[in-house]
Structure 1
Amino acid sequence: MTAVGLDDVGRLRRFGYTPELQRSLSFGDLLVYGLIYMVAIAPFGIFGSVFQASAGMVALAYVVGMVAMMVTASAYGVMTRAYPTAGSVYAYAGRAIAPSAGFLAGWTVLLDYILVPGLLSLVAAASMTAVGPGVPLWVWVAVFVVVNVVFNLRGIKTTRLVNKVFLIGQLAVLAVYLVAGLLALASGAGRGFSWEPFYTSGQFQIGVVAAAVSVGMLSFLGFDALSTLAEDAKGGARQVGRAQIAALGLTGVLFIAQTFVAGLLVEDPGKLIADGDPAGTAFYDTARVAAGPWLATLTALATALSWGLANNMVAQVATSRLLYAMARDRQLPAFLAKVSTRRSVPTNGILLTAAVSLALGLCMAARDDGISLMASLVNFGAILSFIVVNLSVLARNLRPGQEKVAGWFRSWVLPLAGIAILVVVIVNANVLAQRLGFVWLGGGLLILAVMAASGRRPRLAGLTDTIAEDDPANTVDRAATRAAHRA
């Protein structure tokens, strides 16, 4: 039972939705999902970029990033309990602020969710060409997309099983790297032990750290996607909120540990800061310093499989759930709301996600800056959506008659702190990403204006976004409401 006296299924029905997704995910399943989505070895693939942006203080960038994400995770937990639906930030903003705000929030986070699977396929393909250079990049992109579609169409249980296998493999590779790296440092390899990855005298600036966080944020993306599984979880909203915090804490510690060791194994930090890491091999170079070519190959292969299969698989799941949530509210084409009765998955959403991922992956594979451009756009969309979630918590608090689902600290202090941190990060983000991100947002505003002009203003199920809260006795005639909504 939730704080408002109803279980999540009951509240879902009172929001005007019919439960269609199978509640089969336990806390452990959700935790594994979050760990897989964030990828325990995520810094392997972007280490050089974060190292350059942070002027060598790469571990500090991940500490600040973890704090920012923990604060935002608290906001997600509050909103998931208040609105236990599959729509994530789209549903939260739509019900806490206004349906039009929900549409814009959903449109903004789509920039993140739609690009992520294509980005993951592209990064994985690039890693595979480094391991086996004989196969063209576009072939690997296609392979990763198709394999993930096959797994996801088989249902959430198959995805859950594959996730666990990949997580074990990731943790094993990371353990080997950390042990080898620490032993190498102890024997005098690299620059030896120091605190420079956390703080380098003469280099520390708030803007530098914020810029690095805006790049490293890609590693943390995924905890928010757990909120899209609010209708798949056995324990409902409470379990999702707990899993988000636990997944962030565990991965944050792993990120800090591996980047600390890698930061000390960089043999020429000045060169890496000046020239960057266009080939994306900086982390694998530190593995070579630690134990030789075999560890460099192992870490590159682990990155390819983790990003291209494990992470990509759950990214498709999250994107298809967001498309499903917006489609059933008639804010996207209705065919995206179709759920397979046999597998209990939004089939058309999965197929559309795969098609877009394939198209984007193939297009960006032809660009020299494809990976960096897509990564910047993904991060920008994600940061904007995180700001909206925190704003939604504050907006809900200001509305009269709302049931209390969290204490004053989580309802007021943490959301304000989260907004402040994220605004600093986004101001210092990549300029091109800022421009393209606001162009995308402008497109959403244009669509919203066209909808309003044609008399089709966004509405969530139940006609208004406050029925479930303002009508605790459920006295509203649901049939009449649905009829009005269809009209």
Structure 2
Amino acid sequence: MSNTSLKRTLSLWQVSALGLAWNTPMIYFSTFGVSYESASGQLLITYTLAFIAILFTGISYAYLAKKIPVSGSAYTFAKAAIHPNAGFIVGWIVLLNYLFAPIIACITFGVFLSAQFPTIPSFVWIIALIILLAAIAIKGIGASANISATFVAIQLLFIGGFAGFLLYKLFQGGNVPLANAFAAPLLQLDNPFHVLMVGASVVVFSFLGFDTITTLSEETKNPTKTIPRAIYLILIIVGTFHLTSSFVIQTSFPRLSFIQADAAALELMASVGGGILQLIFIVVLAMAIFTQGLASITAVSRLMFVMGRDGLLPKRAFAFIHPTYKTPVFNIILASCLSLLSLLFTVESAIRFVNFGALTSFFFVNLCVIILSWKNRVRHAPFLTYIAPAIGATIMFVLVSMLDVTTLTVGFTWIAFGFVYLLYLTNVFQQPLAAWKPSSKQSIHLP
């Protein structure tokens, strides 16, 4: 058995790059058709609701990352704040989210590349991506972060240029009054509020990713400061670019229809800039999907590592760290093999499964802040410790309830299997899971 320790090498910018890579700013366009249909065309309002919903949970993640600077994300937070059994169930839910994230990357990669190059089947692109992601992820977290930082910068430049071009076209010649142009997307209320919230429960996927960096706490320099700062930085960047993109697209194209929803962004690019913009878009999108897949494989492999280290998954395999690369090689290979399921799913179905896992785990993360604060009799900063997490938990509960019946059925079936496995692990609660006992390097930092 190799020494189960990870190497602290990541800086604020590297951690932020990995979070942005998982989220990938271009996810807005790779899932544009699904999001547009879910939002019934009212992009700006729906994305604004989703951003507000995520912001409260982001506050809770930042708070817990400062207090519990240990890899494992929501799993570790629930184990430390609530109970080891609750930690397992939350970790099991997060696992659904993290396992489907690289699957979405592979699906979208195959869809867009085969749409641009129809002579090459999508499965060829998918298999090639899986092999490449596994090889780079095995090599090490530093390589992943540096590649991600470069590709994320290219994405942001493309989105900024695209939005700027649409704004220029919109106001060229002064034919459109500024006040009317800026007000139109906000005043376009064709759907009732509950329909907008249903749309928000889908487009919220575009804001996911900040949470994955909490799986990197043990590979980050000064994690009690770096991780919370990275969370806020990611939310600000993603929120700014998604809301700006929603505004300029909805203002420029009040009504849109697509031949193929999964590749709708290709049709959008053709209508804006023709074949040249389409080609540039494909190149940037390929980079974006690549970084999303790389960050997703990294995140899920670290979550499985922590659960293996804690004995919730077979320790010999899942807690193994390669002596040379210092990465959980078995977990990376397993996640890569599971990514072959991308050959069986659509983009929309995979997004909904990710959203179920994410939104449900977000509910528990908000709950963790309240319980941890109550247990330790925290009285100051009530907004951070009680009000914001209570609002966040309520919003997450509402968004989960608005997911479609199939997604809820599959999601709760997954939880049921997790509960059965928990009964096995604990011998029907006769042998409780070990409580989390922080070491000197893994302590809860209380006020």
- Greater mean alpha carbon deviation, residues 425-434 or residues 22-31: 425-434
Structure 1: runs of 5 or more not aligned: 1-17, 365-369, 473-487
Q: In the alignment, what sits opposite 2:185?
A: 197
Q: Where do residues 195-234 of structure 1 align in structure 2 (5 Å cutoff)?
A: 195-201=183-189, 203-234=190-221
Q: Does residue 333 of structure 2 align to residue 351 of structure 1?
A: yes
Q: CA deviation at 1:425?
A: 1.4
Asked if structure 2 preserves the Cα contact closer than 8 Å seen for 1:326 and 1:332, the reply is: yes
State the alpha-carbon separation in 2 of the partners of residues 127 and 406 from structure 1.
51
SS in 2 for 1:40: coil
State the alpha-carbon separation in 2 of the partners of residues 99 and 32 from structure 1.
31
Give 2:342's match in structure 1, choosing from 361, 365, 375: 361
**1:353–1:465 CA distance, 2 compared to 1 (3 A):** same
- Alignment-mate amino acid for residue 464 of structure 1: A
- Greater mean alpha carbon deviation, residues 289-298 or residues 340-349: 289-298
Higher helix share: 2
Q: Where do residues 33-432 of structure 1 align in structure 2 (5 Å cutoff)?
A: 33-187=18-172, 193-201=181-189, 203-266=190-253, 268-269=255-256, 272=257, 278-307=260-289, 309-334=290-315, 335-358=317-340, 360-364=341-345, 370-399=346-375, 402=376, 407-432=381-406
State the alpha-carbon separation in 2 of the partners of residues 355 and 177 from structure 1.
36
Q: CA deviation at 1:175?
A: 2.6
- Alignment-mate amino acid for residue 445 of structure 1: F
Asked if structure 2 preserves the Cα contact closer than 8 Å seen for 1:111 and 1:378, the reply is: yes
State the alpha-carbon separation in 1 of the partners of residues 225 and 334 from structure 2.
30
- Alignment-mate amino acid for residue 344 of structure 2: C
- Greater mean alpha carbon deviation, residues 188-197 or residues 23-32: 188-197
Task: Report Cα offsets for 1:134-159 as digits up to 9, x if no partner.
Answer: 11111111111111111111111111
Q: CA deviation at 1:458?
A: 5.3
- Alignment-mate amino acid for residue 397 of structure 2: V
Task: Report Cα offsets for 1:67-124 as digits up to 9, x if no partner.
Answer: 2222111111222222211111111111111111000000001110011111111111
State the alpha-carbon separation in 2 of the partners of residues 446 and 123 from structure 1.
33
Asked if structure 2 preserves the Cα contact closer than 8 Å seen for 1:36 and 1:314, the reply is: yes
Q: CA deviation at 1:384?
A: 0.3
Task: Report Cα offsets for 1:228-252 as digits up to 9, x if no partner.
Answer: 0111110112210110011111111
Task: Report Cα offsets for 1:317-338 as digits up to 9, x if no partner.
Answer: 1000000000000000111101
Identity of aligned residues (%): 25
- Alignment-mate amino acid for residue 70 of structure 1: L
State the alpha-carbon separation in 2 of the partners of residues 458 and 77 from structure 1.
29
Asked if structure 2 preserves the Cα contact closer than 8 Å seen for 1:21 and 1:344, the reply is: yes
State the alpha-carbon separation in 2 of the partners of residues 101 and 74 from structure 1.
21
Q: CA deviation at 1:352?
A: 1.0
TM-score by length of structure 2 reads: 0.91
Asked if structure 1 preserves the Cα contact closer than 8 Å seen for 2:31 and 2:347, the reply is: no
Q: CA deviation at 1:59?
A: 1.5
Q: In the alignment, what sits opposite 2:16?
A: 31
Q: CA deviation at 1:174?
A: 1.5
- Greater mean alpha carbon deviation, residues 184-193 or residues 222-231: 184-193
Q: In the alignment, what sits opposite 2:415?
A: 441
Asked if structure 2 preserves the Cα contact closer than 8 Å seen for 1:108 and 1:384, the reply is: yes
Structure 2: runs of 5 or more not aligned: none
State the alpha-carbon separation in 2 of the partners of residues 25 and 36 from structure 1.
15
Q: CA deviation at 1:223?
A: 0.4
State the alpha-carbon separation in 2 of the partners of residues 390 and 216 from structure 1.
20
Q: In the alignment, what sits opposite 2:7?
A: 22
State the alpha-carbon separation in 1 of the partners of residues 380 and 213 from structure 2.
19
Asked if structure 1 preserves the Cα contact closer than 8 Å seen for 2:4 and 2:321, the reply is: no
Aligned length: 435
Asked if structure 2 preserves the Cα contact closer than 8 Å seen for 1:127 and 1:301, the reply is: no
- Greater mean alpha carbon deviation, residues 49-58 or residues 447-456: 447-456
- Greater mean alpha carbon deviation, residues 63-72 or residues 276-285: 276-285
- Alignment-mate amino acid for residue 153 of structure 1: I
SS in 2 for 1:292: helix
Q: Where do residues 444-463 of structure 1 align in structure 2 (5 Å cutoff)?
A: 444-453=418-427, 457=431, 459=433, 463=434
Q: In the alignment, what sits opposite 1:14?
A: none
- Greater mean alpha carbon deviation, residues 314-323 or residues 334-343: 334-343
Q: In the alignment, what sits opposite 1:10?
A: none
**1:139–1:184 CA distance, 2 compared to 1 (3 A):** same
**1:217–1:188 CA distance, 2 compared to 1 (3 A):** farther
Q: CA deviation at 1:204?
A: 4.0
Asked if structure 2 preserves the Cα contact closer than 8 Å seen for 1:57 and 1:196, the reply is: no
State the alpha-carbon separation in 1 of the partners of residues 430 and 248 from structure 2.
55
* CA RMSD in angstroms, aligned pairs only: 2.5
- Alignment-mate amino acid for residue 246 of structure 2: T
State the alpha-carbon separation in 2 of the partners of residues 303 and 205 from structure 1.
33
Asked if structure 2 preserves the Cα contact closer than 8 Å seen for 1:24 and 1:233, the reply is: yes
**1:343–1:190 CA distance, 2 compared to 1 (3 A):** farther
- Alignment-mate amino acid for residue 169 of structure 1: I
Relative contact order (alpha carbons < 8 A, sep ≥ 6): 1 or 2 greater? Answer: 2
Q: In the alignment, what sits opposite 2:436?
A: 465
**1:139–1:312 CA distance, 2 compared to 1 (3 A):** same
Task: Report Cα offsets for 1:325-357 as digits up to 9, x if no partner.
Answer: 000000001111011222221111111111111
State the alpha-carbon separation in 2 of the partners of residues 98 and 468 from structure 1.
18
Asked if structure 1 preserves the Cα contact closer than 8 Å seen for 2:32 and 2:264, the reply is: yes
SS in 2 for 1:230: helix
